[in-house]
Amino acid sequence: MMASDGMLSLSWNNHKATFCHILSTLREKERYTDVTLACEGKFYPVHKLVLSTCSEYFEKMFEHTPCKHPVVVLKDIKCADMEALLSYMYDGVVSVLQQDLARLIKAAELLQIKGLAVPDEPPLKELSKKNAYPWSSRDDRSSPHPKRRRREDMMTSTSQGSSLPPPESPPSSPQHHQESNQSWDHSKSHSQDQREDGVDQRVGDPVEPAVEFSSPKQEASHNQEPVDESLVKEEVIEGSEDNQGEGMDSRIEYGGMGGGDSNTGGEEQGSKFPHQLDTKHPQPLHEAVVEALAGPSGMQGWLGTGELGGGFSMLEGYSEDGNQEVHPASTGPHGTQQSHQMVALNKDGTRIRGREAVVTIHQCPFCSYSTVRKHGLTKHIRRHTGEKPFTCPHCPYRSSTKYAMSNHVRIHTGEKPYSCTLCPYRGAQRAALINHLLTHKS
DNA sequence: CAGCAGGGGGCGA
DNA sequence: CGCCCCCTGCTGG
């Protein structure tokens, strides 16, 4: 916080993460939901606000829908995809099997989900590296990377008669996109056309015929008006801006799900996939999120680094003792899983890396502290609880650790085990001696 | 600068 | 889980 002229600026450190958490919780409890999405016989009560925020498509739809609680039927979207997209919109992350990626992206494009409706090739990369954590690096109010023109293209593409994608990539694998990425990133304005064509296909085709695209629209039109294509345009800007945030991006090595074969990705990628499996389990995704969020002290523990600005950092599996444990290899939601991974990397860097490794991260329910050592957390929690099990036999002093007490007791005993080799100085603590030695150097 | 308290990690049992 | 150590921050002279 900063102060100026006597004014204090109070900042809510984990505001974003908290906010997102709350939204997820509300969704879980179906509280304040004001729109129901229906697909494949399943119903998903959600919030217009969230949908509108994440999708212009919905935004438009609601804008023209007087109905208080409309039910939007999504014909061409699979419920699994819908759930994944909802997870993405509410939690900012979603894990998807490589094989399902194309379909998911397509669904995202149809619904114009910001950040997922990637224009061209990069879907993979984008998805995994940037969009996966839209809010992690900056404010996401502005959509992550709205790249929806794609959709337009698609529609228009026919007219263009575009040639379509290079033979190289069979529809099914979204992966080949690396190369185009770069070009795409920077130029997103005009030149894209040609390229996009190619892209379109890749993205769209894999799973289904282009025809389908219309459907969502139709849907829209049914409900009200067709989405204005022009809106879809938006140029975007994504570029590289992102990282201003806390620089998290840089640290996050995200192997990306999509990256798949791309060589660019890190070594991690390979290992990563194995864990992203259950994308499909319907429930898990949702439940897990909630579960992850539940915490003794509210969301605090759930939040990330606690740094300003927020980088969110983690969702943990929550365990009864108040600690949140993460088991990357086995825990539910992919999304969270990834988060975990991220956390691990951020916090411990070297240590908790491999996806394969089963790492348990113990998250403090009171603050952002997390450690791989349960014992470490136990000690840490004393900070919050104020528990000081160790009492000085000579005075009222109490400490939270035995070692601290032993240091303290030396005050009474006069013991000074750390002696300077250069002078008669003796210190009761090693740190004192080290500090003292500095005086000899200068 | 010295003293002290405390947090968190390393390591072994 | 316990013990120990390293490191850091605060305080007072």
A406 touches strand C (CB under 7 A): yes
Q: Where are the beta strands (DSSP E) in A65-104?
A: 71-73
A350 touches strand B (CB under 7 A): no
Report d(CA A356, CA A255) in Å as an integer: 13
Report d(CA A295, CA A367) in Å as an integer: 11
Inform me whether the pLDDT recorded for A238 exceeds 60. no
Q: Kind of pairing, strands A418-419 and A398-399?
A: unpaired
What Å distances lie between residue A228 and A176, A199, A221, A231, CA to CA? 31, 22, 10, 5
Q: What is the pLDDT of residue A266?
A: 32
Q: What is the pLDDT of residue A370?
A: 81
- Residues A206-217, mean pLDDT to the nearest whole number: 33
- Residues A22-29, mean pLDDT to the nearest whole number: 80
For the beta carbon of residue A49, count every other beta carbon within 10 angstroms: 16
Report CA A94 to chain centroid distance, whole Å: 8
Report CA A123 to chain centroid distance, whole Å: 16
Distance of A298 CA from B9 C1′ (whole Å): 28
A373 touches strand C (CB under 7 A): yes
Give the pLDDT band of residue A408 (cuts 50, 70, 90). Answer: confident
Closest residue to B9 by CA to C1' distance?
A: A376
Find all residues with CB under 8 Å of A191, minimum gap 6, and list them: A183
Q: What is the pLDDT of residue A45?
A: 85
Distance of A325 CA from C5 C1′ (whole Å): 27
DSSP collapsed to 3 states, A224-279: CCCCCHHHHCCCCCCCCHHHHCCCHHHHCCCCCCCCCCCCCCCHHHHHHHHHCCHH
Report d(CA A356, CA A266) in Å as an integer: 14
Protein-covered nucleotides on strand C (Cβ within 7 A): 1-9
Whether the CB-CB separation of A243 and A195 falls below 8 Å is answered with no
Q: What is the pLDDT of residue A118?
A: 56
pLDDT tens by residue, A10-19: 667 667 777 7
For the beta carbon of residue A158, count every other beta carbon within 10 angstroms: 11
A376 touches strand B (CB under 7 A): yes
Give the pLDDT band of residue A20 (cuts 50, 70, 90). Answer: confident
Give the pLDDT band of residue A8 (cuts 50, 70, 90). Answer: low
Q: Which nucleotide lies closest to A401 by the C1' atom and the CA atom?
A: B6
Give the pLDDT band of residue A83 (cuts 50, 70, 90). Answer: confident
Phi and psi at residue A362, to the nearest 5°: -100, 120
Distance of A389 CA from C11 C1′ (whole Å): 25
Report d(CA A335, CA A91) in Å as an integer: 8
Domains identified in chain A and CATH numbers: 10-242+252-267 (3.30.710.10), 282-385 (no CATH), 393-441 (3.30.160.60)
Distance of A426 CA from C9 C1′ (whole Å): 21
| % of chain A exceeding 70 in pLDDT | 42
Residue of A106 and A210 predicted with greater confidence:
A106
Inform me whether the pLDDT recorded for A92 exceeds 70. yes
A434 touches strand B (CB under 7 A): no
Q: What is the pLDDT of residue A314?
A: 34
Distance of A440 CA from B5 C1′ (whole Å): 25
Q: Which nucleotide lies closest to A376 by the C1' atom and the CA atom?
A: B8
Give the pLDDT band of residue A359 (cuts 50, 70, 90). Answer: low
A186 touches strand C (CB under 7 A): no
| Structure tokens given for A352 | 């908790």
Distance of A426 CA from B7 C1′ (whole Å): 24
Distance of A2 CA from B13 C1′ (whole Å): 49
Distance of A427 CA from B10 C1′ (whole Å): 23
- The helices-and-strands tally (H runs, E runs) of chain A is 19, 12
Distance of A402 CA from B13 C1′ (whole Å): 18
Whether the CB-CB separation of A290 and A24 falls below 8 Å is answered with yes
Report d(CA A342, CA A361) in Å as an integer: 11
pLDDT tens by residue, A255-280: 333 333 333 333 333 333 333 333 33
Closest residue to C8 by CA to C1' distance?
A: A431
A68 touches strand C (CB under 7 A): no
Closest residue to C4 by CA to C1' distance?
A: A403
Tell me how far apart the 2 most distant CA atoms of chain A are, in Å: 90
Q: What does the buried/exposed string (b/e) look like for A205-224 if buried means 16 or more CB atoms within 10 Å of the residue's CB?
A: bbbeeeebbeebbebbeebb
Protein-covered nucleotides on strand B (Cβ within 7 A): 1-11
A406 touches strand B (CB under 7 A): no
- Residues A73-77, mean pLDDT to the nearest whole number: 79
A400 touches strand B (CB under 7 A): yes
Q: What is the pLDDT of residue A7?
A: 66
| Bridge partners, A427 (sequence order) | A418
| Structure tokens given for A84 | 């994944």
Distance of A375 CA from C1 C1′ (whole Å): 7
Mean per-residue pLDDT of chain A: 55
Give the pLDDT band of residue A74 (cuts 50, 70, 90). Answer: confident
